[in-house]
Amino acid sequence: MAEEKIRIQTLKKMKERGEKISMLTAYDFQFARLLDEAGIEVILVGDSLGNVMLGYENTLPVTMDDMLHHTKAVARGRKRALLVVDMPFMSYQVNPEKALVNASRFLKEGGAEAVKLEGGEEYAETVKKLTTAGIPVMSHIGLMPQAVHRIGGYSVQGKKEEDEKRILKDAKALADAGAFAIVLEKVPTLLAKKVTESVPIPTIGIGAGPYCDGQVLVIYDMLGFDDKFKPRFLKQYANLKKEIIKAVSRFKKEVKEKKFPTKKHGY
């Protein structure tokens, strides 16, 4: 594995030469260290921690303190990967000035190198303000989980012609505002291809087909921690739920049967 530090400029060069970008979420020190060792280019401290770490129904209850806490842990575990953090609900929507104050905390206190925020053209001014201040921004359009109540669920976005035009317009506006990459979530494959070809910055897909410049998944989803969560876009690369339960059950059994600990486990 190459040891060169991944930076936002690295991702743009990868797009230019047609090299795909790998991105996964991490929420703690240990997973950050493992992803870094495996060579993942981008680690995202996602507000999805609300679902997979804190047990919320959606991402809306996640706070700045929650995100800062987990970002600090991840920052201590990674060395090479680019570290991006989600700005939680209502930490940037009020106005660009508040967004700047909150985003700066992730870099100053959390050790992040970039922030990600949901929203299209309507947040171009915010993106520009942050990037002008030296804070790299990854944008996120298509399905936006923080807008779950407005859009009425987690359905595919951009199926209608007017919605497709809006998403294309959003992508161009965000790129022009200074975003260094755009996440495309749950949009039709051909629309994602059009977006990818229309902007000079990398696109990172999740449920957006193979034509994006990179792909992202939630680490717990792709490792199979929840066998009931099986959306179409998800590929499970392991079934760790089964393996963890098996190991824990074996531990319990050996404790009950007085097989653990043995003499070699003592001092």
Q: Please list the active-site residues.
A: 185
Question: What are the C-alpha distances in Å from 63 to residues 57, 102, 132, 171?
Answer: 14, 11, 25, 27
Q: How far apart are CA 202 and CA 182, in angstroms?
A: 6
Q: In sequence order, which ranges of 109-239 are alpha helices (DSSP H)?
A: 124-132, 148-151, 161-177, 189-198, 219-222
For the chain, the straight-line distance linking the first and the last C-alpha, in angstroms and rounded, comes to 39
DSSP letter assigned to residue 178: T
Tell me which residue of 192, 146, 145 sits closest to 168, measured CA to CA.
192
Place of tokens 């990818």: 196
Measure the CA–CA gap between 99 and 106, rounded to whole angstroms.
11
DSSP designation for 57: S
